[in-house]
Amino acid sequence: MQKFLSSKNVLILIIVVGLLSKLWALAITPEAAYNDSLYHLSIVKEILDQKTLSLPEIDVPPPLYYAFFASALILSQLSLTLFTSKMVPLVLSLVQLSLAFVVFRKLFPQHYLAALAFFVSVPWLTRFGAVNYTEAISVVFVFSSMFLIMKLQEKKQTFFSAIPLAVSISALSLSKLNATLLVPVFFLASIYVLWKQHTSLKTVAGFIVITVFLSGFWFGLNILKFGTLDQHNFQLASNELTLGIDTAFPLSHLISFPHLYYLYFWDFPNLSAFSAQSFVSGIPFELAAVVFALMVLPLGITLLNGAKQLIQKPALLSFIVLLPIALEFIPIIQRTAYFRMIIPVVPLIAVVFAFGFAALSNKFFKS
């Protein structure tokens, strides 16, 4: 029994359950379950019909997801159907899991299973990764940027070997507006590593030019097209940079209701779900909240311990992991505990968890 309950076996069990949950969600979740998913599919359909990303009657957000989906359908000569609508979520889930294994194994040779277990179990990725949500492709490029920065540290880079990292970082701004918040962090970290590696000035300059050009590509097109950023992106960007000030839910909301932010971080159902027709309807909200909070308390403690451990690590690692997580709370607070916005940094939260698990594992498990 003690051997079965070793940390490795427990984590493997969690990973298996998490993977089965993802497959189940992919199989049974209809696109109509979330309005945003239908919106994303409508843009893909319009791109296929018009054969262009420049849609005068549709306000297209950062286009990478739509371009990827539409290109996949065109190259495979398939039409947009109920079946093919699940193709991209499935492919992106597989890519995420593959990159997660590679990155976590490289970061944590001894404790990569802890990071992987956390990553596959996070409900946000399970729920929204089962349908067409653009955050899924942001996760891919967070992983690829992390991996390429780690590779950057291993040897001196040439101009051509630095290009994939520039493209990966730039892809974040082309995937989702809140993922754009992460671009400066990975960009500055990359320049720092290039400088530490005594990389040639030509290579550094080329990296900067390519990253800046590609990162601002879509916004630049909007300026040329509309004379300014299109209204949709302009309003969202303005709101996210206000940290919630002068909105209906300022920063004081976080201070007044920290327990709700703690619950919603773990995807606890909101109050309306307890009175609506859902699986939790009829259950007292307060009772469910207390029980749930106690259940996830060990996870919260592990994350806090992981953050403490990270602060003591080399500054570059702390900068790459902790600052993006903090930045992603800007749109979350602005939109009142809208924790779906945290999806792009779930890989980084998994890193924090693994550090915490590594520090605490000897106290609770026999390795």
CA distance 137 to 132: 10
Going by pLDDT thresholds of 50, 70 and 90, the confidence category of residue 177 is: confident
Side-chain half-sphere CA neighbours of 97 within 13 A: 20
Residue 315: what pLDDT? 86
The string over 14-29, giving b where at least 16 C-beta atoms fall within 10 Å of a residue's C-beta and e elsewhere, is bbeebbebbeebbeeb
Burial of 56 (0-12, 13-18, 19+ CB in 10 A): exposed
Eight-class DSSP state of 341: G
Asked whether the whole model's pTM tops 0.75, one would answer yes
Residue 365 has pLDDT above 60, yes or no: no
Whole-number percent of the chain with pLDDT over 90: 35
Which CA distances in Å does 79 have to 50, 82, 133, 134, 171? 14, 10, 19, 20, 26
Going by pLDDT thresholds of 50, 70 and 90, the confidence category of residue 76 is: confident
Burial of 354 (0-12, 13-18, 19+ CB in 10 A): buried
Going by pLDDT thresholds of 50, 70 and 90, the confidence category of residue 20 is: very high
Residue 254: what pLDDT? 63
Check: CB of residue 199 under 8 Å from CB of residue 209: no
Residue 151 has pLDDT above 70, yes or no: yes
CA distance 231 to 235: 6
Share in percent of the chain as helix, strand, coil (round to 5): 75, 0, 25
Going by pLDDT thresholds of 50, 70 and 90, the confidence category of residue 59 is: low
Average pLDDT for 327-333: 85
Residue 107: what pLDDT? 92
CA distance 305 to 216: 37
Residue 362: what pLDDT? 61
Going by pLDDT thresholds of 50, 70 and 90, the confidence category of residue 291 is: confident
Query: Could you read off the pLDDT of 204-258 as tens digits, one per residue?
Result: 999 999 999 998 877 776 666 555 554 444 444 444 444 333 444 456 666 666 7
For tokens 């730039």, what's the residue? 170
Residue 180 has pLDDT above 70, yes or no: yes
Check: CB of residue 342 under 8 Å from CB of residue 332: yes
Query: Could you read off the pLDDT of 130-139 as tens digits, one per residue?
Result: 889 889 999 9
* Helical H segments across 197-284, by residue range: 201-215, 217-226, 231-241, 252-256, 258-265
Q: Which residues contact 88 (CB under 8 A, 6 or more apart)?
A: 65, 68, 69, 72, 132, 136
Average pLDDT for 294-312: 91
Residue 53: what pLDDT? 67
The structure tokens listed for 103 are 């990155």
Going by pLDDT thresholds of 50, 70 and 90, the confidence category of residue 166 is: very high
Residue 331: what pLDDT? 82
Average pLDDT, the chain: 82
Domain boundaries, the chain: 7-364
Average pLDDT for 268-294: 74
Residue 243: what pLDDT? 39
